[in-house]
Amino acid sequence: MTVAELPLADTLARPLRDLRISVTDRCQFRCTYCMPREIFGRGFVFLPREQLLTFEELARLARVFAGLGVRKLRLTGGEPLLRRDLDKLVAMLAAVDGAQDIALTTNGALLAGKARVLAAAGLRRVTVSLDSLDDEVFMTLNDARFPVARVLEAIAAAAAAGLAPVKVNMVVRRGVNERSVLPMAAHFRHTGHVLRFIEYMDVGTTNGWRLDEVVPAAEIISVVGGQWPLEPLAPSCPGEVAARYRYRDGGGEIGVIASVTQPFCRGCTRARLSADGKLYTCLFAGTGHDLRGLLRAGASDQALREHVAAIWTRRADRYSERRTRQTSRNKVSRKAEMSYIGG
């Protein structure tokens, strides 16, 4: 059996099924939980263009990962739509044998003008970040004076382009936007879109994360379910990170991503590729494995497959399951920033 034919699994028997591809570390927003302006200000040095993987390199790596079992590809950033001609990359990824699903996570700022061309290129799904319907709350969070209305226009444009249902991600942070939970749920009920509430996470080391700022998923479900009764749904696919619920009155579906209070490490099937070609096996990892060096040194596809397979089969990551103990001991490890590794 060759590496490509083997059922690839890590030390906890988790298969490799999802690859999140960061195409840039840049973003127009300065969200306080991701790229706080006091760190990512005018003097911050982003990756120079020559260090970014080219579309051809990204497509080649996607083929390598598909040969190892990856079936879902998601483009992330930073803000991925800042990468010029992204639709060309989407078309290249859509041609990868074995890639069954190509998705995009975006802040929505540029989506309205690009949704149709992306869909035509082969994009299947889109996730849009929106943390409140209140303009002042949302603009305080994004720290770019970007209004809610333009994100809602982007969601509508994506749906019109055939990228429905749109998933809408809301990061909930206590003392900041937890009062926006019910208005967000009310707005997206009966729209066909799927609103997902995300516990505030300690990705990276620059966002000042504190455990007491986490609004637990159970509390969110209690608040929403107290207004509109909910019932749980089964996962839509293996490795799904969101716990799904539907409104009993037929109003649609919501999800909660509870990485802090209900860790799902044991079902994680995701690998992450940074914009400069480093492979990370966990969202909370501190270091990555350099694939760009191998690519540009002339490594064969077989050599790349064997290298990735060796990394994955040694994987033992379960940071979220260990977080509480680390937090209580005030141990803070250096972790890659979300804007660099992708969400």
Q: What is the pTM of this model?
A: 0.92
Count of domains for the chain: 1
Q: Which residues contact 288 (CB under 8 A, 6 or more apart)?
A: 274, 278, 279, 280, 336, 341
Supply the pLDDT for residue 206: 63
Tokens 């990485």, residue? 259
For 301, the domain range is 3-341
Distance CA 35, CA 110 (A): 18
Tokens 């030390």, residue? 11
Structure token digits, residue 86: 């992204």
Distance CA 224, CA 221 (A): 5
Distances 161 to 9, 45, 154, 157 between C-alpha atoms, Å:
37, 36, 10, 6
Supply the pLDDT for residue 334: 65
Supply the pLDDT for residue 265: 82
Q: What is the pLDDT of residues 125-164, one digit of tens each?
A: 999 999 999 999 999 999 999 999 999 999 999 999 999 9
Supply the pLDDT for residue 327: 54
- Going from the first residue of the chain to its last (343 residues), give the mean pLDDT of each consecutive group of 10, the final group possibly shorter: 64 96 96 88 93 98 98 97 98 97 98 98 98 97 96 98 97 96 98 96 71 93 98 86 95 94 86 96 88 98 98 89 57 64 71
Q: Which residues contact 8 (CB under 8 A, 6 or more apart)?
A: 15, 16, 68, 69, 309, 312, 313
Q: What is the CATH number of the domain that holds 104?
A: 3.20.20.70
Distances 123 to 3, 112, 131, 286 between C-alpha atoms, Å:
29, 14, 24, 30
Supply the pLDDT for residue 316: 92
Q: Is the dihedral of CA 84, 276, 36, 38 positive or negative?
A: negative
Structure token digits, residue 130: 């929106």
